[in-house]
Structure 1
């Protein structure tokens, strides 16, 4: 058994983590032993390694916040799960590991035969995209949404979920090479960010009403989105890829009544009841299992390649997700 462990945090994320051997006891009552099949590396994982994320686990810690596994052995008094069953791993459980013990009640059984690599990315980015579209502005089919970081994993899921709801998307990227992947996913309009973004958005949409903007960059990119909104619109920020605080001008805030909101999935998990979480995940599992919702995987790495994997995930030039396949 091997796991990707870190005992400190530092500015270079791949320098602080390494693959180490470990052992586990047999599962106790109510527990199962799980073999981890796939676990993604998300921006939040990288920020956790550098110490910049909003919630940090105590050290030492095992990296990874989501993934899928296969039940190897069930302890006493476990019902509903049996060896060979594919399961969604609990969020925040340290998933960059070949094996883990988990409370059987915390696991979600997954449909057999579905793409386990796609399902491994279920717990964070797809619900983030779904909730950003659902919980801040009431949108009707045919209306527009504008987002930046559209070539990110959340951005890709948002494009697909918006299309499934009959919404249209303006997708903002920061480099020319990012255009094609977003267009391939079904983005209606793809534009490079810039000071004149609002004018180009109005031209591309025929001056259509846009009430919701989704921001993952911060800095002046937030203001660019705000300028593209209809007066009274809402910008929802869920990240700071640009490394700067959100900028919102007095003109946007006061004269155009633009609202700035924040979204953190961890808070939603804490506040939503089990029924709400279950409904959302059931919908997303169905879409992913059927192939109607997916993310591009750029590369996969074994557990002993964890430093290379984290370095690849931290790169700004990625074209897809980095996955850890701990058992090959």
Structure 2
């Protein structure tokens, strides 16, 4: 058994983490042993390793915030789960491991479906879903613009928008990413640049664009702000450029554009159990049925954690990096 552990943080994320032997104690009452089937590496995981994320676990720590596993052993007093059952792992439990002991009551039984797609359900899909629903009352036929459209969240946002009847303007940072984003069902794909607002108006025929989604920061934020219609809302949820959001006062003053922020961890804290169940019930059904999915660029064993984190930290890749224990 192995775990991907880090005892410090630093600017090069793959240098601070390594695979080490894992020894688990005997199961306590109410616990089960789970074999991890798949666990993704998200941008927030990389920022946690560098120390730049908004919430950092105490050290030493095991990497990984989401994933799925298979129940291998039941501890005393466990009756609600069965051996062989696929389960969603608790968020933030350190999922870059081969096995872990978990309280049975914290596990959610999942339908039989692709474990790699199910493993990515806790972070990116709800982020995309809530970005589309929490800030602007969109109606079928409305336009939404997003950057980092080739990211995990970007992929889910395109698919969810189409299911809800919205049209998407999708911004990427390089021409080589255009084809893959179009294949996701994007209505329009544009390469970022200072003239983005002009090209957006041409693509939409001057239609209103009331919602913008920014994962990049820096000047990319300003390009999206300039593409929004009067009174539009721009929501930032990431900093892929590692630069502060930049917006011209003209967008704020003359067109009443507003800039908001979104953090899924905060939503988990303030939302009700009923709200969470509603969001995840929809996403589980869509992912299990194959109607909602995202590209996987590569998979790595826990023993390859350094290579996996390096791959995830690189900007130019087509799809998610997953830890898939052998």
Q: Report the TM-score range of the alignment, normalised by the length of the smaller protein.
A: over 0.9
> Alignment partner of 1:94: what SS?
coil
Q: Which residue of 2 aligns with 1:225?
A: 224
Report the equivalent of 2:276. Answer: 277
Residues of 2 paired with 1:49 and 1:318: CA distance?
Answer: 20
Equivalent-residue separation in structure 2 for 1:87 and 1:207 (angstroms): 47
**TM-score normalised over the length of structure 2:** 0.99
For 1:79 and 1:276, the matched residues in 2 are separated by 27
Q: Which residue matches 1:47?
A: 47
Large movers: runs of 4+ above 6 Å: none
Name stretches of at least 5 consecutive residues in structure 2 with no aligned partner. none
1:187 aligns with 2:157: no
1:19 aligns with 2:9: no
Question: TM-score, normalised to structure 1's length?
Answer: 0.98
* Count of aligned positions: 326
* TM-align CA RMSD: 0.7
Q: Unaligned stretches of 5+ in structure 1?
A: none
1:97 shift after superposition: 0.3
Partner of 1:92: 92
Q: Distance in 1 between matches of 2:199 and 2:205?
A: 10
CA drift at 1:79: 2.7
Aligned runs of 1:195-274 on 2, under 5 Å? 195-274=194-273
Q: 1:53 and 1:160 mapped to 2: Cα distance?
A: 27
2:64 is aligned to 64
How much has 1:284 moved relative to structure 2?
Answer: 0.4
Cα deviation, residue 77, structure 1: 2.0
- The alpha-carbon deviation at position 215 of structure 1 amounts to 0.3
**Rounded Cα–Cα distance in structure 1 between residues aligned with 2:30 and 2:166:** 44
Give the SS at the match of 2:268.
helix
Write out per-residue CA displacement over residues 228-260 of structure 1, whole angstroms, 9 at most, x where no aligned residue: 111100000000111111111111111110000
1:7 equivalent in structure 2: 7
Partner of 2:73: 73
Q: What SS does the corresponding residue of 1:182 show, helix, strand or coil? A: helix
SS at match of 1:164: helix
On the 8 A contact 1:26/1:33 being kept in 2, the answer is no
